[in-house]
Structure 1
Amino acid sequence: MVHSFSSLTRSRFYTLLLLGLVGKTLSLRGTTDGDANDVFAAAKGGNLDALTDLIEADRKLLNVQDESGWTPLHIATKEGHAPAVKYLLDTGANITVATTDDLGLPPLMVGLKYLEPDHEVVSLLKDAVTEYVKTIPHQTQAHATAASGNTSRLKELLENDGDLVERKDENGWTPLHEAVNAGQMDCVKILLEYGSNINLETAHGWTPVLLAKKNRNHDIVDYLKEHEMDARTRKVTKRRNKKNIKVVTLQHAAANGDLNAVRNLVESNKAMLDELDEHNWTALHEAAHNGHEDIVKYLVNAGADVNIHTHGGWSAILLAGNRHVKHSTDKDKAKHMSILEFLLKNNPLIRRQESPYSEADKDVVMMAHQAAQRNDVLLLRELIKKNKAAAHALDEHGWAPVHEAARAGRLEVLEVLVAEGIDINLRSNFERGGSAVYLAQTFNGENHPTVEYLKAVGGEFLEPDADEL
């Protein structure tokens, strides 16, 4: 399925591409209509001599805009006139101004929209933007570079100034937010290696994980979560290796598997049960993540909240499910499955579910979708056994597990879901997107086994609405 840019993604993309100046109008429409029309005609026709004469006679014509905000540079770019574009750039034409029509395109985006990517005009504009970037302060360069995917330049910037890794722009975005939002996995990895904090929020409350979820970039979501898990595990291991360490918090005791210390701390101050650390982790998160079933049961029975989420989006239920997926031995899988079963059984939100298409508990939805993506049939069956809604529930984007399985080509998962009586022709994105057959065929090819299976059980090729393409 081809997802359209959200308004947030589009505006951030344009803003970053031209370094925060895209969209500024030039207010030069007061120039004589005749001269303006002549310069537009010269740009459209690629008449370099006429273009030169007009602009040399009146420099204001260089950046004059028509009623739709198009400048001579926009027009010459669209028509693919490289000599005219080169002259306009050399003369100082504004490369950041966007048109004022519905497109809202700066010159480079006009080139990318109407010309081939390797066209000479596109290359000229890219070079101009690159040169312009060099004049911008390093803070903006780091953000723009992270979004563009230029890994070598990003490393160079971070080597020269390590503080850039968490420098915020005027909207609270760090380079990591930009890399995540643009889907630049390599830049995400570099920024995390240099110590970027995955829990920082923008001025509007976006964390990197939330941005990745919004853009349905599952690879980056998984990578960020794994990074959080690895960092957490290293922290616990380091603490365990220290001799004579004093247990000072309930989280430490739960992570270390010290049930007596956990019990003593809770009995001395029950308010500790759901106490949060700097990453929004509770003792229950620690116990679930580290596989301490006895502590999980004690904390839940003492009243711990099973639905608190960390800044990275993990609840105790999701942590237990993740550990089940990750562990390879039957013994470890059984241990974490036992913890998962207990947490699901003791989740009051799950017990309140009735209709299979009602707003199911977020943990069940996320885990069912995760299981469908990863082909974890065992976990999916266990979730459905605990709550039938797991087979049907939609996420915040209107996707059901069948859409995830079809997109990822998971035949066994599809067989489980069909056996549960799902609507095989349910369209994604709240009935505006494509059906399971559409997703399977688009992402895996017409002859993929999932396509043949879905059609055999009544699946139809239903395309997304036009505005979703």
Structure 2
Amino acid sequence: MASASVSRSGSAGSALAFEDYSLYSNLSDDEVMQLAIERSLTETHRSSSTDHSAPAPSTATQTSSVQDDEPDPSATSRYPRRASSSQNQAAPQTSVHYSSPNPPTEKPPDLKTFDGTVSRFMTGSGKRMVAYYKTDGSLVYIAPEPEEEEEPLFQAIREGNASKVRALAVCPGTNLMLPSKPGWLAVHQAAWFGQDSCLRMLLAAQPGMVNKRTSRGETPLLVAVSRAQLGCVQVLLENGADPELPNYDKETPLYKACERSNAAIVATLLNRGVAVNTHCIMGWTPLQECVVQSNMEICEMLLKAGAKLNLRNMYGITPLFTAAQNGQLAALRFLIKHGADVNTQADDGATALYEAAKMGHEEAVQLLLSQNADANKPGKTGLLPLHIAAQRGSDAIVAMLIPATSKARVRRTGISPLHLAADRNRDDILEMLIEAGFDVNAQLSPERMRLYEDRRSTALYFAVINNNMEAVRMLLDAGADPNLDMFRPLMVASRVGLIQIVKLLVEHGADINADIPTHPTTFPAVYMFSMKYLPLFKYLLDNGGHALPCFDCVYGNRPHPPIKTRRSNWDDDSEPILEEPLRRGVQFCEMISAPSICRWAGPIIDVLLDYVGHVTLCSRLMEHLDSYSGWSTIKEKAAPPRPLMHLCRLQILQRVGRRKLKKLHLPGALMRFLTHQEVPLDDEG
């Protein structure tokens, strides 16, 4: 993570605020400087009302993190950062040409008199930079930050030069209580680098330093523990260091030792009788941190020292929950063995079993179930462990949870795991749930249904809208009813031209003539979504779609009122929905007059005429047929009398029925004529 410090200049000792930048990590030092200069010269001056505390234009680049051999008193992360592995190649030197009469100065301004902002940052190659900006954002000065010379005492400690440290420590001019950085004393330096002999000398010369804090509130003991310097820890404890003093994040030396998974230091601190149940600022205890590290040796020591198993952090999470969340089997077994509650719940209601299922930890789920963990406890969202496992696609976990989950409890949640499996295209899990007897016609509760604009309710709807042919087939074969949703799956499939799914739905009893309660029509609503694709439209008519209502118009030969349309809320690409007249639903002649459909009016009417006898075309349909000369033959086709063979076909279909017709042993040509198969349906979905 890159870091840059930005501060208003004032007194020389004013604190610096830190901000992160990572935009220019591929630039060299010279390129960064040139970019900053050019931006300053070309940038439009900001108004005088600009917030002076805002950071200057970001010219920082990504920096590598602090290395293990250098102390970083200003670091704030609980966990150590990784060093950057990227290295930038040096760019060729380039000269800078100034087009402004006021280029950046060659010398840095005096901080005591400078009115503006100072930005410190680090380039991708690790060079520290400093930039001065006026209040209007213009650059005044930018250059590498002068390197601070390390004080002799601190250098001697880092190098482990004990004789030099002894000489400097007893020197009358040396003030051991004077920090080299914010709060960073010589004892912190010795603890950081593990120089226990130097530490002894410093404490002998100035015992009052033993519990002094850094800018982060760390005592020398905390620094030594964080760096796993056992020798320094022992020296500090022997010289009166307080083993209970935490840093400003309320992390005690014991907590840091557990975080570093250092059993020797933990044992040393426990022998001093330190408190084992102290919470850090996030509510974590040393035991919970050990569970994350899965160090059973330390867990055993903490438990013998009085660590409590069921203490919760600020999110209501116990150590056992943490073990399940991280899949730490050894820790999970240890905690269960010593009496931890396997049904512990976090503040959001999630159980350890739910969290293990969510994270896909199969062995943890198996262990918890073997210890009678309750699979029927829902979280705040109402979902059970089985729900989340079905959603995440964990086949083995779903198989373990199915026998442990109550179907009645699933029904009370208002959502079936079938919904989640179908939504995420988890076909294997869908099959497992169907075989286990979960209701394929389970519907979302009204509360969950309202979360979807189309008010979907069945798993079949999810499978259809995902164009998942295999899931649709499984659900239909298992008895899924295709007519339960308000907006039918057949309409969804027709809207996007899913021919194979349309055929499956029709074969399993989908109601072709259903309407949409929120958008009533006088004709089958599915026609709104299939008219542009005539083979699909014809297939629906062949399989029982009503054609006669399409010619039923209350206006007849009289003029029609203007049409008002609006877009469907379900899909920006869907057909326009006509505003419903107060008298009744939208008429077919009104729907076919929509701008996106009227260009196909002639062929659509032509197909419909094959499925009706004597009908009268209303004035609006006649207008469409008159709009193109090539459609004149369609008008002639509609004019009475209709052909006798056609009328006979309609009578046979009406009396025999389409389903029984297929069972009759008739000549192929006659069967094709009766079933309108002159133009076969394209089977490609």
Give TM-score scaled by structure 1 length: 0.38
> Whose Rg is larger?
2
Higher share of residues assigned helix: 1
Give TM-score scaled by structure 2 length: 0.27
Higher share of residues assigned strand: 2
